Structures are given as C-alpha cells and as structure tokens.
Chain A
Amino acid sequence: MPYGLPRRSALGLLLGAAGAVALGGVAACSSDDDKSATTPEETGPVELTYWTWAPNMDKIVEVWNKANPNIKVTISNQGGGNESAAKFLTAAKAGNAPDIMQAEYQMLPSFVAAEAVADIKSLVSGAKPAFSDGLWGLVTLGTDAVYGLPQDSGPMGLFYRVDLLEKYGVAVPKTWDEYAAAARKVHAADKSVYFGGFSNKDGGWFAGLSQQAGGQWWSIAGDTWKVGINDAATTKVADFWGGLVKDGVVDTQAWWSNEWNAAFTNGKLLTWCSAVWAPGVLSSNVPSTKGKWAMAPLPQWNAGESFSGFWGGSAASISASSKHKSAAAKFLTWLNTDPAAVDLLVKQAQVYPAATAGQSSLSTPPEYFSNQASFWSDAAAISSGARGFTFGPDVNAAYTAYEDSFGKAIQAKSSFTDALTSVQQATIADMTKAGFKVAS
C-alpha cells in the first residue's frame, strides 16, 4: 500500500494478530460455509452492504439502486490497506461481515484461507471473458474457484520526465540493461541526480517487477502451498537492483515522503517504475511538474518482449456469511462488467478498470499527462501484456520480511540474493506457524 501509510503500525500488528486467531479457527468451522451452493433465488427486496474505499462509490451505487429497487446496496467507506483487511477478517469471525468487500488482490488469499469469502463461480459464470487472463488469475488463485470479480488494476509502466531525459541525453530504456546504463550515465553526470529509485518499503512494487520477470511466488496444489519467492526469475530481478544499489547509482530513499516528493519536484529523480495510477499520485504530490511526464512500458528483460506486472488493484468479493449471494453477484457483475457501470467506475471512482472493454474505452488522458494523447491506449497495451501470480495467504509477512531484509542489504550494500533467500525463509516460517501445509 503506497501513500505513506505506516505499514507496520501497532494497529496493523494487533489486527493482524486477530486475523491470525481467525485463521486458527478455520479448520474447526469449515463445514458452516457450504451453504453457498444451495442459496435459494432471492424473491423479495434484499439489502446489501458493501465495504469499499473507492471514492464516490455511493454515487455509483445510487444508479444501481434506482434501476434495481429489489436489490438495495449500501456503501460504507472503510478506508483501504492492511487495517481494513484485518477489520474485515475480524468482522467475519464475529459473524458481522458485510455482504460485499473490496479486497486488494494480495489480501484475497488470506480471506480465502480464513474462509471469509465465498466461491461464486456458479453465480458469475459469464464474467470471465470480460477480463484479461492475468487479472482473472488473481481472483481464482490458480484454482477452479472464483473468489470475486476484478474491479480495478494497476499494470506497471515506466513514468519519466520527458524534458530531463532529454537534458541528460538518455533515451527511454527499452530493456533493463539500457535502464542500468541510463542510471549510471545520469548519476555520473550529476552526483545529486538519480535516474530511478529502488524501494525496500514497497513489497507490492517488487512483487510487480517479479511478475514481469515471470516469478511465481506462491502456488497451491490441493491444500499444499509452494513458495517460490527466490525462484530464478525473482533472483534475476533482485540481482539487477542489488548491482545498481551497490554501485550507488539508484536512489534508495523512502518513497511517499516529503523528501521523495521534493526530489521529483526539483528534478533530482527522473523516472519512476510505477503503475497506471501514478498520475493521481504525481498530480497530488508533485503538482508543479504537470505536463512534463510521459508513460512508457517497463523495460524488458529480453528485447522485443512486452511483459508487465501488477502493482495494486483490487477485486470485490462476496463474504461467505452473506445471505444474499446471488443478489450480490448480480450487483458485482453489473458493477464490473456493464459498460455504463465501468464508465462510472472510471469517472466517479477514478480507478483504472479491470474490465478489458473499459480499459480500451478510455480516451481523454489524465490532466497531468495531457501531453501524452495516447496515454490510455498505451496503458491498455501495457495491460494486455501484464502477468500476475498467485498471491499466498501471508503476503503481509512476506512484505515485512522484504522490508527488513532488503533494508539491511541496502545499508550494508550486501547481496540482494541473500536478502531474497531470507524473505523466502521468513515467509515459509510464517506460513508453517499459521498452520499451512508448505511443500519443501
């Protein structure tokens, strides 16, 4: 979660503990939730609650409520992040879960593991073609089940200052080799300037880069998890950044801070590997450089490829305890696949929609990127090559380990491969402790 939230706040830890309690109770009560298949068709008017953090969702829901007096949806804005996920798990344990919950893709597996969200495969059978395979995989977790509908997505690209790249005489890098060369060249020209930055605070960012390289951090077969955080693809990514950090040619300061904003404002940082929601961040944090940025695809590992990864994005899931699953599924299908609804999502909630048709219907570029007329068609092209991976049930533990290990490695300028290995070990240890079967 970006935006400078305290990632490991006491609150998060505490609610995390509650979540762990909820997880611990899973095995004992797994039989309660099998009613989903037999939920009868709703007849009378039903009321649904929807926990979300997307802005203006109440206005979007108003449109639905007007057209569907029999299914009335009420919005409750809970904020996002780990805390709201933990709150949902706590509420689910107490039997107070809302009918519908917005879930970040990386949190969804922990909801599934706690049996807090329902498999809605039979209720949304027609929805699959509306989404790219990469996004659909994020709500199936690579299984036969469907645990929600993709709502918004964050395919990653390279955001760069057009004017400054010109000033330092570097072209937009097409491969990571070119990226490294550019990083060295710019920093050699001016020691106070960096071509790009590496963040040890944003596990989701590193996960996205690993997805681009083809990493598969988690997979599940039956009830056994396999953890591959230090697989060959991810090791390649870690080594690449480790080399740049060791030579001191990429910036390693904390993101989302005032200093970081100032580095962009003052032209000390020329590019940002980010996701398609970056215009929102830049326009709010670095308003003075409006119109000077452009978006390119991420540099590739092999010339000629066009892969990307996902950073951020969320699905909407139906809670296992909801008494109105088919009504909720009807609403979610409308919200995330109906052209009119997706249009509202884009305009009112200001998200980059998950639905493929919605992505290609965008035309006017964000105001901050008004100089790049093809912004949205470029984004759609990036999006079509974005691949995700199955997230595990303890993504937070992995991200925390990432923060620790890579933070230390940056300090000591030591091997990123070793740091990655310790993330792998910490993640397996955490899953084992939480009672998951992990293949060795």
Chain B
Amino acid sequence: MKPLDEQDHYEVLEVTPGAAFEDIERAYRLTRAAYTDGSMALYSIFNRDDAAVIRSRIDEAYRVLTDPQDRARYDAEAGIADRHAEAATPTATRPIDAFPLEVDCEESEARTLPAELPSAIEVIDDPDADIDEETSDFDGAALRRARLRRGVELDQISDVTKVSVKYLRCIEEEDFERLPASVYVRGFVTAYARAIGLDARRVSTSYMERVEAAREQPQRRLRSSSR
C-alpha cells in the first residue's frame, strides 16, 4: 500500500485500471462523499487539511479518467496500458479490489434508469440481495430494501416521480388506508420501481395484489358481521 502522493489515479479512486466509465463515476461519488467536509467517516482520523488534499486528488483523478483522451495519455505515460490488458483477461488478479462493485454484470444487467436519478445503484456486493429482488413478491419492505441498497432516499424518488414523500412512505409501510384509490397507487408504485431501476410491471403487479387483498378483507368482515 502506497502513500497518497505515490498513488496513481486508479488507486486514488480505488478502482481497477480496467474500470469502466460507470465504475469510475460510482467510485468518484462514493469517495468524494467520504471526504467531504464534515463526513462522519473522517472524524478523528483525517483533519480538514488532509481531507482537502485527498479531495483534490480525487477530483484530479476523476477529471483525467473520465476524459478518454486524457485517460489514454495518462495510461500510456504511467505504463498502465499493459496492466489494462491484464485486468481485462479473466484470470488476472486485480491489483486493487476497490469497492465491492458489481463486477460481472456489465451488459447482462442493463438497468435502465431515468436520467434524473443518476446517483442510483451504489449497491454493496450482495448476491443474496439480487435473489431477493428477482424472486420476492414485492411488498413494501422489499421495495425499501431495494431502494436503500441503491443508496437512494425517499425525497430523491419524490423529486423524480413527483409523488409525495408521504405517499412513498405509505407504500413502503403498506399503510393502505392512507393511500388513494388503487388506480393511483398502481401509478405511484410503477413510478417508484422505475425510478430505482426495478422491473416496474412485475413490481406493480405483485404489489397491487397485496393492496387489493388488504382492501377487500375488511369489507368482507364488515359484511359478515352485519348479518
């Protein structure tokens, strides 16, 4: 492990030399957030000056690595082009394993995200969670887990979907009584799912079954008790 002033741009951003653009984007957001002034993670380890130095190195690394020409020039100068090729071959051991990003899902899992929510999907490497999202019936809790895993707060979803935070919270907590008519709820859930990159149709179908079931039950009970 090298001191910061000897680290290359990849090491500063904690990504592998072969990192794809999206990986660099994500790593930048995470590291940048870690070293912002007042970040809880810095407290008692790095002082403000240290943090400022690290931040400027992160910004510089990001600037170079997200510009294809600058990156190519940088790789050539630093002799990283070879390492690049190495990292691309599957058997190569990666010099630094950065954040546990989703490594092997580059094309297979082309999640479509609305342009307004670019910061989504900062997931922690968790095969179990993928299973959770693929197989589970989507109840409110499953939606919340999927959202948190992507590092998204409710107000961010509200910004994108224009659904109020109040209703979004009701959806997660399955507070059906405070939600409007089913036709609206279906729209809200669809928008929510789309915003975090889930299969909107599957989610809304699954969720609406829960809504309908819950809304029918009390009526039935009323009817039976009136007899």
The judgment on whether A and B are partners is: no
